[in-house]
Amino acid sequence: MMGTDRHAFVVVANRLPVDRIDGAWEASPGGLVSAVAPVVREQAGAWVGWANTHDDSLEPFDFDGMSLVPVSLSHDEHQQYYEGFCNATLWPLHHDLIVAPQYHRSWWRAYREVNARFAQAAVEAAETGATVWVHDYHLQLVPAMIRAQRPDIRIGYFCHIPFPPVEQMAQLPWRDEILRGLLGADVIGLQREADAAKARQAMQKVLGMDPEELRGRVGSYPISIDVDEIRAAAESPAVQEMARCFRRDLGDPATLMIGVDRLDYSKGILHRLWSFEELIDDGRLDARGTCLAQIAVPSREGVRAYQDLRDEVEHTVGRINGRFSTLGRDVIHYSHHSYSTEEAVALYLAADVLLVTSLRDGMNLVAKEFATARRGRGGALVLSEFAGAAEELDQAIVVNPHDRAALKAAIHHATMLSEDEARRRMDAMADTVAAFDVRRWAQAFLHDLRDPASAAALSPSD
């Protein structure tokens, strides 16, 4: 199925940057796509990934200046590799064991086989001396698999999610293979310096690697957003009109709080709902003047823990609305749908407070988008200290979402900020994001990949 075209730059990610909608390919939204697609286009590069279909007859095709190389997954592989090993083993292992990771040898075998298929596609797409950039936890064996066949290639790997502490990583029956897989890369990037330190420690303890050698290869590159895209949406009259409609349709509350997340247990949606309920119970939030709009984007619906979470969130929303809504006026508006960038920005503009209460989160780009859209407009951001973004957005109201009293106090504080203070904090956060947007993130990583000698010096955390 592989084309014969060879490229100087190849991205390898679980998903291709397109979705098939009504029989035609359309660009899929998302941070990785807006960050990496321009670089792929500039270098007439290739992108290797899964096309989100079980059709295994797809040939490589050109899309918007990129050469897309589809990797097929059978129905069983989708279950065992994607839903199983990626999202019921690795995802919880990398997110503080919020649910228990499951270890199944058949899932591991599927992960290895699928990784080998991605690696083969990358090898065939890469010209001599090419740069290959591998993304995320789905493909941790790919760097070493490419290296084994093609020592001429420069290989980068970036992990978009947190890295587990060595004591948790040690549970994984295939920890040695995974760490050796990563070490096929010349540069290994993580979101925060704390994640990079954990990765180095795991490599040192599990594989006995030399810490000095690791320091130059494993670093932090906090991912960011497409600031221009979010600013343009926030300035668009159509989006501003949409924001006014949203607020009106929500009953024009005195205070509009929002949550915007994939429906994932790592996001702490229940913790946020419990605190909201108690604040109304205590009389610190007024049910008649406050509304919480929670967007929960459907995610990984074949995985049991996600089905259970959906049941619990929907039960909790129902209970709170049953207790506090009046006819024609819900205290919580819950929507289980995906949304466009324009709709998200309209919601940011309509809101007074964004609640980001992740129990563990690699970065959280919603927080960065909110601050960017709201520059000059005030509003408040409640931000979990367990989201990578908290390291940069120190003007947020930073909180431990496990501490119910603290989370309630943070949400209450967010509703009490003076206009001046709210604007000052929001503008400071927006400026921080603008100073390191997603293009600079990609440039910083690729710079270090091409020139490893400068890696330690140029890593943005240093």
Closest CB to ligand G6P among residues 88, 161: 161
Judge residue 212's burial from the number of C-beta atoms within 10 Å of its C-beta, 0-12 exposed, 13-18 middle, 19 or more buried.
Answer: exposed
Contact positions toward ligand G6P, by CB under 6 A?
Answer: 15, 136, 160-161, 299-300
Secondary structure (3-state) at 70: strand
At which residue do the structure tokens 């990563």 appear?
182
Closest CB to ligand G6P among residues 45, 362: 362
Min dist. Cβ of residue 291 to ligand G6P (A): 28
Min dist. Cβ of residue 99 to ligand G6P (A): 15
Min dist. Cβ of residue 78 to ligand G6P (A): 11
Tokens of 404: 């119910």
Closest CB to ligand G6P among residues 95, 247: 95
Report the first-to-last Cα separation within the chain, whole angstroms.
44
Residues 6+ apart with CB under 8 A from 159: 136, 137, 188, 189, 190, 191, 195, 199, 362
Amino acid at 288: R
Cα distances (angstroms) measured from residue 303 to each of 81, 102, 385, 443: 12, 12, 27, 35
Min dist. Cβ of residue 119 to ligand G6P (A): 18
According to DSSP, residue 391 is labeled: G
Q: Are 84 and 140 in contact (CB under 8 A)?
A: no
Secondary structure (3-state) at 1: coil
> Nearest residue to ligand G6P, using CB?
160
Min dist. Cβ of residue 199 to ligand G6P (A): 16
Closest CB to ligand G6P among residues 299, 325: 299
Min dist. Cβ of residue 234 to ligand G6P (A): 23
Closest CB to ligand G6P among residues 33, 291: 33
Closest CB to ligand G6P among residues 111, 324: 111
Secondary structure (3-state) at 258: strand
Min dist. Cβ of residue 318 to ligand G6P (A): 26
Closest by CA to 250, choosing from 289, 276, 279, is 289
Closest CB to ligand G6P among residues 158, 174: 158
Enumerate the β-bridge partners of residue 403: none
